[in-house]
Amino acid sequence: MAVPDRDLAEFRSTVGDWCRANVPKDWRRAQAGAPEEQFVAFQKAWFQELRQVGWAVPHWPAEWGGGMSVAEQIVLYQELAANDAPRLVLAFVAIHHAASTLLVAGTDEQRRCHLPAILDGELWVQGFSEPDAGSDLASLRTTGRREGDVFVVNGQKLWSSGAAHADWCLLLVRTDPGAPKREGISYFLMDMRTPGIDVRPIRNANGESHFCEMFLDDVVIPVSGLVGPEHGGWRVAQETLSAERGMTMLELSERLGRAGFTWLLEACRVRGPSGDRLLDDPVVADRLAAFEIEVAGLRSLCRRVVERHEAGASAPAEASIAKLLYSELLQRVMDFATEVVGLEAHTQLTKPLSSGWESGAWMLDYIGSYEWTIPGGTSEIQRTIIGERGLGLPREPAAR
């Protein structure tokens, strides 16, 4: 249902006024290099601030605390970005991946158990990738053996962002080793307090440790933790991955356009020791103009993707196009920013932990931008999806 322009204008004003009154003024300084416990406490408190006004999970159905139209969500994300509100980094998997999976494929009991808990602060991690099953996720080797009313799971997961703080895990397990790759996988909800789970943080290139690996040693998961049919987890996993290529791309594109690009312009307006501005250099101005056009196109594309999805008219591969465009544009913008800002960009060694990939700490943002060309399907995988499903090209031959 279309929302009248006058109502959207009123809503925009409401969100803007609320942000100016409630976004912590010094959150960037406080979160730059903050200890993990301080980051976690801040994230949970900010989530509850948004929950109180009904803006923490706008994409959820109304009965679970959401119910906003796509038009309203666009306005909300635009205003949060424009007013430099912190991102819900820690709750990302819970409110997007876990929620979308439960709403589409979970049982009534699983939804009743976990959706209210997520609103109360329950944190989730995604246990999909493995050392030899990243882009080729169907090659996963973590096994689940059924013994009566439980499954006994053994294996290793890698690149599980936020696992050190998670309460629950979305877990893919091979439960039928004799079946074709995609037909022998089951999908589970795993309590992270279960004995046999060993979480080890991995320090990445910009000094953060949100990546983790998980070792599972005879971990017992009850049959009630199965999502969808046994051995039918591959289809359920596609619902999880689609969350990363849908509404989340809308939020990220708005932040890149409303915050990241704005800060880049401001950096180029600053006068250097000689009194000149980078913005006065015609080469720099030309690059900025080109980026502005691309960012505008990305934002428009992401809005169209979510609008078409809500209308039940999604086109094949359009979500992959949005994800590919965002991730590679983010990388190029941050590369350019690091180049033109110069030495100053290389001397900033911390960034606000509750920011996105456009924090203004240009070198760290550039390093972090490489994350987005890998998770949720690498750029190579996205191009394959676009070619085969979007353009109808022949499938790539299987490797021999």
- Give me the percent of the chain exceeding a pLDDT of 70: 96
Q: What is the pLDDT of residues 211-247, one digit of tens each?
A: 899 999 999 999 999 999 999 999 999 877 776 556 7
The predicted structure's pLDDT at residue 357: 85
Task: Give me the catalytic one of 72, 130, 244, 294.
Answer: 244
Compute the distance between CA of residue 174 and CA of residue 37 in angstroms, rounded to an integer. 35
Rg of the Cα atoms in the chain? 22
Our measurement of the distance from residue 266's CA atom to the centroid of its chain's CA atoms, rounded to an integer in Å, reads 27
Q: How does strand 143-147 pair with strand 124-127? A: unpaired
Query: Could you tell me how many residues make up the chain?
Result: 400
Please, are residues 187 and 226 in contact by the beta-carbon 8 Å criterion?
yes
Q: Where are the domains of the chain?
A: 5-90, 124-231, 245-390
Task: State the Cα–Cα distance between residues 275 and 254, nearest whole angstrom.
Answer: 33
Rounded to 5, what percent of the chain is helix, strand, coil?
55, 15, 30
Check if the beta carbon of residue 164 is closer than 8 Å to that of residue 199: yes
pLDDT digits (tens, 9 = 90+) for 104-123: 999 999 999 999 999 999 99
Contact predicate 350/32, CB 8 Å:
yes
Residues 6+ apart with CB under 8 A from 366: 331, 334, 335, 337, 338
Q: Among residues 131, 320, 279, 289, which one has the least CA distance to residue 211?
A: 131
Residue 399: the pLDDT is 58
- CATH superfamily for domain 245-390: Butyryl-CoA Dehydrogenase, subunit A, domain 3 (1.20.140.10)
Six-digit token pair at 93? Answer: 């998997």
When pLDDT is cut at 50, 70 and 90, the band that residue 262 belongs to is confident
Confidence of residue 5 (pLDDT cuts 50, 70, 90): low
The residue assigned the tokens 């006065």 is 280
Q: What's the pLDDT at 241? A: 74
Q: Could you read off the pLDDT of 129-176 as tens digits, one per residue? A: 999 887 788 899 999 999 999 999 999 999 899 999 999 999 999 999
Q: Is the fold of 5-90 the same as that of 124-231?
A: no
Euclidean distance between CA atoms 235 and 271, whole angstroms: 54
pLDDT in tens, 338-347: 999 888 888 8
pTM, entire model: 0.91
> Is residue 244 flagged as an active site residue?
yes
Crossing angle (nearest 10°) for helices 261-269 and 318-341:
20
Rounded to a whole number, what is the largest CA-CA distance in the chain? 76
Report the CATH architecture of 124-231: Beta Barrel (2.40)
> Which structure tokens are listed for 8?
């959207």
Question: Which amino acid does the sequence have at 172?
Answer: L
Helices (H) and strands (E) in the chain, counts: 15, 8
d(CA 313, CA 308): 5
Handedness of CA 254, 256, 259, 262 (dihedral sign): negative
DSSP H stretches of helix in the chain:
5-22, 27-31, 36-52, 70-82, 92, 99-105, 108-119, 233-244, 247-255, 261-269, 282-310, 318-341, 343-347, 362-369, 379-385
User: Could you say which of 1.10.540, 2.60.120, 2.30.29, 1.10.10 is the CATH number of the domain covering 5-90?
Assistant: 1.10.540
The whole-angstrom separation of Cα 232 and Cα 311 is 27
Q: Name the one residue in this structure whose structure tokens are 């008219």.
A: 313
